[in-house]
Structure formats: C-alpha cells, structure tokens
Amino acid sequence: MSADVAETIAKIRQQLVAVSNQNKVPHLACSLSSVEILYTLYFKVMNIRPDEPDWAPRDRFLLGKGHAAAVLYSVLGYRGYYPPEQTMTLGQNDSAFEEHPGKHPPAGVENISGSLGHALGLATGMAKAAKITASPAHFYALVGDGELNEGTNWEAAMFAPAHQLDNLTVIVDFNKLQGTGRSCDIMQLEDMEAKWKAFGWQTARVNGHDVDALYHVLKSDYIEAGKPRAIIADTVKGGGVSFMEDDNNWHYRIPTEEEVESVAKELGLVN
Ligand SMILES: Cc1ncc(C[n+]2csc(CCOP(=O)(O)OP(=O)(O)O)c2C)c(N)n1
C-alpha cells in the first residue's frame, strides 16, 4: 500500500472517530471494520464519476449494514463527491448525513438502509434489471455477518446464481461480532465460504484490511462466467484503532476527547 493510500485511510479513520465524539454518534467500531473495503471499491474498483453521481452506467454500491453509514459518507467525501468536512454534520438536525441513510441522502449514496437484510436483495434485483437492459454496471453489496441472520439474504443467495448474475458481488464484512455478542454464539455462520459456494456463487476469502489483496480479488476476471461472486472479507471490528479492536463495547460507545487525540497519534496524523 502506498503512502498516499495509507494517509487517506488514516484520515478517514480519524474523521470517523472525531465525528462520533463531536456528534455523539455510536456504531464507530462497525464503520472502522469496513474502511479498507469501501476505500478499495470507491478509489480503485468501481466505475463511477464523483462529479456526475447519477451517471447512468455507473457501478453501484449498496450498503447493507446501514448503522455504518459514517464510513460510506467519509469515503464518498474523500473520493470527491462533496467536501469531506461536510460529513462532520453527521446525525445533526437537517443534515443529509443521517445516522442511517434516509430518503434524501447525500450524493453517491444509492440506498436507504438501517433495517438490516435488504441491500443484497436490492442489488440482486438491480443486477437482474441491468442484465435485461444490457447495462454494463456492476453491483456491489456490503453485508455484515450479523446481518446474514436475516433470511432475505438467503433468498437473494438462491436467486442470483439461478439468474446467472455475474454482474453482482456480495462482500461479507466478516468481523465475527454483532450488536450483542460473538456471531458464532448467536448463529453459527461457518463455513462461510462453503455456504456461498453451495448456493452456486464463486467465492474468495481475503484479509478485509489489506487494500492490495481486496483489489486483487475484486478486480480479478471471472473464473466462471455466469456466476455471482461472494467475497468473504475477514475483518476486525474497530479495526485500525488498537484499543477498539475486537471490543464490542465500541458497537455503541462514544470516544472521549482524550481518546480522539490518542487515535490521531496512533494513526500518525499528529506528533
Ligand atoms: C432488521 C434489523 N434488526 C435489528 C437491527 C439492530 N441492529 C443494528 S446493528 C446490529 C448488528 C449487526 O451486526 P453485523 O451485521 O455483524 O454488523 P457489525 O458487527 O459489522 O456492525 C443489529 C442487530 C437492525 N438494524 N435491523
């Protein structure tokens, strides 16, 4: 990973921590888990035009775990959809940057989310429509592992291979935690990769904090045409901030001023 990439990723992380503190917005660890996934999609993989967000043939990203909207807003800001500092209004009255993306979201946000379990179905329907209209767009859905407890995902998991939707990629943010505990204690999900394979998807398992590895699997040509792709991204909830990593208290906890400062130091943004 180049120094430029590392710096932008550090700034995104720092913004997430700062806005959580400033506006008392929870779900910080949930956003930190997905930083590299969204960075890789928006900066390296997707065919998009930040200055023309509604460009018709654009690729689409559908956010499943809507409680992590902050990371989407930050990545879009740093990618040039709007000045990054605008996202510091997150959760404030009259801000377009709602804690969960709503009906009038900022430029670049493609779906309402917050109620878990809808992004993959939405992406699947959009991918099917794109096939019918011969659109070149590719559809990416990000789902949390806890989110996979929602049965709607498995309906889409059956539909997409049956309709040969090779213009569809689901990325599982597999941090092994959800709101109230360890995912394996709530609903056992392993063997995650085998599950998707059994449904007829082509799969890859990757370190979800490694931009180069993510790029490699997301950009690689299809091994089997006619099959949708499931990328199992192993991540750490709270990833990139040492004292938040794999600590589920940070699903809800708000960082203090001192903690914001210590994160800035850890990320190398201040001395
Ligand atoms: C339909 C629905 N049920 C419950 C919730 C409450 N909820 C918010 S976050 C969350 C846990 C999600 O876990 P996961 O998808 O693994 O996200 P992560 O741990 O990465 O934040 C739950 C159950 C919700 N938002 N929507």
pLDDT in tens, 64-121: 999 999 999 999 999 999 999 999 999 999 999 999 999 999 999 999 999 999 999 9
| Span of 31-45, 192-206, 211-225 with lowest mean pLDDT | 211-225
From the CB of 239, is ligand 1 less than 6 Å away?
A: no
From the CB of 33, is ligand 1 less than 6 Å away?
A: yes
Q: Which residues pair with 174 in a beta bridge?
A: 234
Q: Are 215 and 45 in contact (CB under 8 A)?
A: yes
* pLDDT recorded at residue 4: 95
pTM: 0.98
Place of tokens 């792709």: 229
CA 248–ligand 1 middle distance (angstroms)? 12
Helix (H) or strand (E) holding 154: helix 152-162
For residues 170-177, average pLDDT: 98
Shortest-distance atom of ligand 1 to CA 144:
15
* pLDDT recorded at residue 143: 98
> Could you state, in order of their start, the residue ranges of all structural domains in the chain?
3-266
Give CA–CA dist 63/66, Å, rounded.
6
User: Is 143 strand, coil or helix?
Assistant: strand
CA 145–ligand 1 middle distance (angstroms)? 9
* pLDDT recorded at residue 176: 98
From the CB of 99, is ligand 1 less than 6 Å away?
A: no
Give CA–CA dist 118/66, Å, rounded.
10
In the sheet where 60-63 sits, what is the strand order?
60-63, 139-144, 168-174, 229-234, 202-207
Ligand 1 mutation pick, 178, 235, 237, 250, max ligand atoms within 8 A of CB: 178
Residue of 65, 267, 66 whose CA lies nearest to 175: 65
Ligand 1 mutation pick, 36, 37, 65, max ligand atoms within 8 A of CB: 65
For residues 208-233, average pLDDT: 92
Residue 66 in tokens: 């809507």
Q: Are 229 and 168 in contact (CB under 8 A)?
A: yes
CA 149–ligand 1 middle distance (angstroms)? 9
Task: Decide if pLDDT at 223 tops 80.
Answer: no
What percentage of the chain reaches a pLDDT higher than 70?
99
pLDDT bin (cut points 50, 70, 90) of residue 222 is low
DSSP 226: T
Query: Cβ-count burial of 198 within 10 angstroms (0-12 exposed, 13-18 middle, 19+ buried)?
Result: exposed
Give CA–CA dist 37/195, Å, rounded.
21
Task: Decide if pLDDT at 220 tops 90.
Answer: no
Q: Which CATH superfamily is domain 3-266 in?
A: Thiamin diphosphate (ThDP)-binding fold, Pyr/PP domains (3.40.50.970)
From the CB of 173, is ligand 1 less than 6 Å away?
A: yes
Q: Are strands 181-182 and 177-178 parallel, antiparallel or unpaired?
A: antiparallel
Give CA–CA dist 226/165, Å, rounded.
6
CA 125–ligand 1 middle distance (angstroms)? 22
Give CA–CA dist 192/148, Å, rounded.
10
CA 27–ligand 1 middle distance (angstroms)? 10
Shortest-distance atom of ligand 1 to CA 33:
20
